[in-house]
Amino acid sequence: MSELKIGQSEIPNPVVLAPMAGVTDKAFRIIAREHGCGLVYTEMISAKALCYHNSRTRELLDLEGEEQPIAVQLFGCEPEVMAEGARLAVQAGAMLLDINMGCPVPKVVKNGEGSALLEKPELAAEIVRRMVEVAPVPVMAKIRIGWNAPNIVAVSFAQRLEEAGISAIAVHGRTRDQYYAGTANWDVIRRVKEAVSIPVIGNGDIWTARDAAQMLAETGCDAVMLGRGVQGNPWLISQVRHYLEHGEELLPPSPAEKLQGAIRHLELVLQLKGEEAGIREMRKHLAWYLKGMKRTAPVKEALFRAKSKEEVGRILHEYMEREGLITGPKGEQ
């Protein structure tokens, strides 16, 4: 398993955490690093809101105390605004910048941002040029393979961005119209890799360590990007890394280990966001951690009503006791 070099930035291994809105906040990035992730991204950040010094947006840009490298992902469609956003992100400590050219969400697309840029390659290239001019760090982009099945543009689009000065490109093997349905087209990722000389990161349908190895083998891409597969399952990161290094699969975490991981995640989020916001933020994560476990429907319902750390802890502890996941008087395994 080799290092990945993006511009002058050295990434220690080819396991990358995808930028996911509402998921890859500071707490989750810290957890991903603990599992050995080579590169993490922030949630997508509005360059315009950053320029307006929006306080919530500035929070998304809080990188203090985190292990680098971290890629700050910006979205927008105005070259001047994206360039200023890039300058502010670097000022905040970004060692890598990424442009969101793949988000399929209607409220983003209707503003000409995210996936909408796939239909405006000249504008996309101008955004890259302007950001590269002002940023002393590598600029990357994350794209989809096209707007819809009749319009698969990833190869020519990636070439256009490379000409404009992009340092690496991540390709999600779905169209905008697919959202997250259907199957990711890894063959298009392969064709992008063959068409450009910059590093290509493959994304889409990596649920197991074997999937990651298969993507690398089939596409020739330089790194794999893990997205929905890590929701409630950050162990996938260490599983992929171990498999790529040693060719053997790690055992999946036990239910008890998963719930202990959930509690660790909860504690981190509460430290960073406070109890009220933290409990609200953790509801979806807790549901993901419980996925696949037995008799969890009433547990999830109770967690969605919980208002305090103590209440969440009690609900999880009672579930673990009921299912025989803890044995000792103090809950030791």
Do strands 4-6 and 9-11 pair parallel, antiparallel, or not at all (unpaired)? Answer: antiparallel
Min mean pLDDT across 30-44, 195-209, 269-283, 314-328 is at 314-328
For the chain, how long is the longest CA-to-CA vector?
65
What six digits make up the tokens of 17?
């955490």
Closest CA to 231 of 24, 71, 27: 24
Catalytic annotation, pick one of 37, 77, 103, 221: 103
From 187, 218, 246, the end of a domain falls on 246
Closest CA to 35 of 229, 173, 210, 218: 229
pLDDT recorded at residue 329: 43
- Asked if 261 and 151 sit in the same domain, the reply is no
CA atoms within 13 A on the CB side of 132: 18
What six digits make up the tokens of 250?
């790690």
- Asked if 241 and 260 sit in the same domain, the reply is no
Phi, psi of 180 (to 5 degrees): -120, 15
CB 114 within 8 A of CB 104: yes
- Asked if 111 and 166 sit in the same domain, the reply is yes
CB 17 within 8 A of CB 230: yes
Q: Is 138 helix (H, G, I), strand (E, B) or coil?
A: coil
Q: Given a cut of 60, is residue 327 above it in pLDDT? A: no
- Asked if 121 and 161 sit in the same domain, the reply is yes
103 is catalytic: yes
Domain count along the chain: 2
- Asked if 96 and 138 sit in the same domain, the reply is yes
Straight-line distance from the first to the last Cα atom of the chain, in angstroms, rounded to the nearest whole number: 35
Q: Given a cut of 70, is residue 294 above it in pLDDT? A: yes
Helix (H) or strand (E) holding 16: strand 15-17
State the average pLDDT over residues 169-181.
96
Min mean pLDDT across 128-142, 289-303, 315-329 is at 315-329
pLDDT recorded at residue 332: 43
Whole-Å CA distances, 296 to 146, 286, 314, 327: 39, 11, 14, 20
- Measured N-to-C along each axis, helices 186-195 and 154-164 cross at an angle, to the nearest 10 degrees, of 40
Q: What is the pLDDT of residues 222-280, one digit of tens each?
A: 999 999 999 999 999 999 999 999 999 999 999 999 999 999 999 999 999 999 999 99
Q: What is the CATH number of the domain that holds 296?
A: 1.10.1200
pLDDT recorded at residue 77: 97
CA-CA-CA-CA torsion sign (86, 95, 111, 79):
positive
CB 179 within 8 A of CB 168: no
From 246, 274, 302, the end of a domain falls on 246
- The residues that bridge with 202 in the sheet, in sequence order, are 171, 224
- Asked if 44 and 79 sit in the same domain, the reply is yes
Q: What is the pLDDT of residues 119-135, one digit of tens each?
A: 999 999 999 999 999 99
Q: Given a cut of 70, is residue 322 above it in pLDDT? A: yes
pLDDT recorded at residue 261: 95
Nearest-angstrom CA–CA distance, 144 and 215? 16
- Asked if 142 and 68 sit in the same domain, the reply is yes
pLDDT recorded at residue 324: 87
pLDDT recorded at residue 2: 67
Q: Given a cut of 70, is residue 1 above it in pLDDT? A: no
Q: Given a cut of 80, is residue 78 above it in pLDDT? A: yes
* Residue 192 DSSP one-character state: H
- Asked if 213 and 292 sit in the same domain, the reply is no
Domain for residue 329, yes or no?
no
Q: Given a cut of 80, is residue 326 above it in pLDDT? A: no
- Asked if 133 and 17 sit in the same domain, the reply is yes
Domain for residue 328, yes or no?
no
- Asked if 227 and 272 sit in the same domain, the reply is no
Q: What is the pLDDT of residues 147-164, one digit of tens each?
A: 999 999 999 999 999 999
Query: Average pLDDT over the chain, rounded to whole?
Result: 94
43 confidence band (pLDDT: 50, 70, 90): very high
Q: What is the CATH number of the domain that holds 223?
A: 3.20.20.70
Q: Which domain holds residue 274?
A: 255-322
Domain for residue 333, yes or no?
no
Domain for residue 173, yes or no?
yes
- Asked if 236 and 262 sit in the same domain, the reply is no
- Asked if 263 and 203 sit in the same domain, the reply is no
In one-letter notation, the amino acid at residue 101 is: M
